[in-house]
Amino acid sequence: MRALVIEHDPMCPAGTVGDRLVQRGFDLTRLTVVPAERRERPDVECAFPGAAGWDLIVTLGAPWSVDDEAAIGSWIGGELALLREAHRAGTPVLGVCFGGQALATALGGGVERAPRIELGWSEIETEEPSLVAPGPWFEYHTDRWAVPPGAVEVARNDIGSQAFRIGRSLGVQFHPEVTLPIVETWLEYGAKQGVVADGLLDRTKGMLAAAERRAHALVDGFLDHVALSRPMGSRPVRSVPAESRAGRMQA
C-alpha cells in the first residue's frame, strides 16, 4: 500500500505516525513542500500529485497559518485541491495540526486564530476514546479550525475542536507524531521566536513512551475504523497486520 506523506517543513516529519504506518505495511512517499533554507520565505513553488494511486494521504504540521497565503504563497491552493480530490475519490486523509486545518478548510470549514497559543501536554474531551484517546497529547499551535459541514467532531478542549472525522478521513489538532528530537527542534525554533516553554522538554522525556502507545493506537483506530469505511464508489484500504512487513521511505 502506498501513502503520500506531506511534510510541509523538514522540522515537521511523520515521526511516530510514520513509524506505525510502516509497521502496518505502508510504503511512505514523502513530499517536502518548503525546504529548510526557505522556512522564513515559504512562498515556494510545489507541484502536488493527484489523489489517484494513493491508498492514504497524510498531511502534517507547519510553522505557518493555512489562510496566510501572503506569506506561504499559492502552494496551499494546490494542497487544498488535492485534499478535496481525495475526499471525492474516497482516498483516506489523516490531517495533523496544520494538516488538519488544511483538511477542514478544503472541505468547507476554515481556520482562524485561537484565543491563545496552545503549547504542551494536554488532556482533551473525546466522544470516541477508542479512536482518539483523552491524552495527554502534545499541542503546539496558534490557530484552530472550524469543523467542515458534514463532519463529526470527535474531541475538543477549551481552545476549540481537537479532532473530527468526515468520510474516510480524520483531522487532529494535536501532534501524535512527536518524538524527543522533534520536540527539541520545535522548542529550539520557538525560543528564537520568543516562545517560552520552561520545563517542557524535561516533562516530555517522561511522557513519550506512553505517548507512542497512544499514537500507535490512534493510527490503528484510524486505519481500522475510519479509513476502512466504504462510501459508495470508493475502494477500501486493505487491512494489513501490524507487524506483517517492513515499509520503506522514499524521497
Adjacency order of strands within the sheet including 125-126: 125-126, 152-156, 161-166, 169-172, 93-96, 56-59, 2-7, 27-32, 249-250
User: Do the strands 169-172 and 161-166 form a parallel or antiparallel pair, or are they unpaired?
Assistant: antiparallel
160-172: pLDDT as tens digits: 999 999 999 999 9
Residue 72 predicted with pLDDT over 90: yes
Residue 191 predicted with pLDDT over 90: no
For residue 193, the model assigns a pLDDT of 84
Residues in a beta bridge with 58: 5, 94
- φ, ψ for residue 116 (rounded to 5)? -160, 160
Type of residue numbered 228: L
The confidence band for 194, taking pLDDT boundaries of 50, 70 and 90, is: confident
- φ, ψ for residue 106 (rounded to 5)? -60, -30
The domain limits of the chain are: 2-250
Catalytic residue among 8, 97, 141, 216: 97
For residue 55, the model assigns a pLDDT of 97
Query: Is the bond preceding residue 136 a cis peptide, omega within 30 degrees?
Result: yes
The class of domain 2-250 in CATH terms is alpha beta
7 catalytic residue (yes or no): no
Asked if 152 contacts 229 with a C-beta cutoff of 8 angstroms, the reply is no
Give 114: exposed, middle or buried? Use CB within 10 Å, 0-12, 13-18, 19+: middle
For residue 222, the model assigns a pLDDT of 98
For residue 239, the model assigns a pLDDT of 38
For residue 90, the model assigns a pLDDT of 95
The whole-model pTM stands at: 0.90
For residue 229, the model assigns a pLDDT of 64
46 catalytic residue (yes or no): no
Nearest of 239, 245, 237, 218 to residue 100 by alpha carbon: 218
Asked if 137 contacts 102 with a C-beta cutoff of 8 angstroms, the reply is no
> From the CA atom positions of the chain, what is the Rg in Å?
17
Residue-averaged pLDDT of the chain = 91
For residue 249, the model assigns a pLDDT of 30
Catalytic residue among 79, 139, 177, 212: 177
d(CA 129, CA 68): 33
CA-based end-to-end distance of the chain:
16
177 catalytic residue (yes or no): yes
Catalytic residue among 8, 87, 141, 175: 175
